[in-house]
Amino acid sequence: QVQLVESGGGLVQTGGSLRLSCAASGRSLSSYAMGWFRQAQGKEREFVAVIKWANGCTYYADSVKRRFTISRDNAKNTVNLQMASLNLEDTAVYYCAARSDSLYVSRLLDLKQYDYWGQGTQVTVSS
């Protein structure tokens, strides 16, 4: 089992930046895929970014490309999401998710493919 805890959410102004972290405990993430999802008020939870732990390959939703960067810290078993140029549409609860075995990217965009979820952290962009 893997326990995920997100942190780093908060209030930020339009155009600002924020760094989210997801700390994983329980086991090594060497074979895992780690994803970030978000859910805005009144909307469905949507894919944001994913990283494969083994090789560091990443994929981003079109809405966050060039602005968000997902990364991993192997020593700390932590996944980060560096967010820049934030706009009002980025306001949401951000969730970290993990899948115990990796899949092709096409399947990792589906939240149903993830085994573990964090509790979420609120990101609010104001202007």
Predicted pLDDT of residue 106: 85
> What parts of the chain have a pLDDT lower than 50?
none
- What DSSP element (H or E) covers 39? strand 33-39
Predicted pLDDT of residue 43: 97
The DSSP annotation for 49-69 comes to EEEETTT--EEE-TTTTTTEE
CA atoms within 13 A on the CB side of 99: 20
Query: What are the C-alpha distances in Å from 106 to residues 47, 64, 72?
Result: 11, 17, 20
Predicted pLDDT of residue 101: 82
Query: What are the C-alpha distances in Å from 8 to residues 18, 19, 42?
Result: 7, 6, 23
Cα diameter, the chain: 41
User: How many angstroms separate the CA atoms of 12 and 30, rounded?
Assistant: 33
Residue 108: strand, helix, or coil: helix
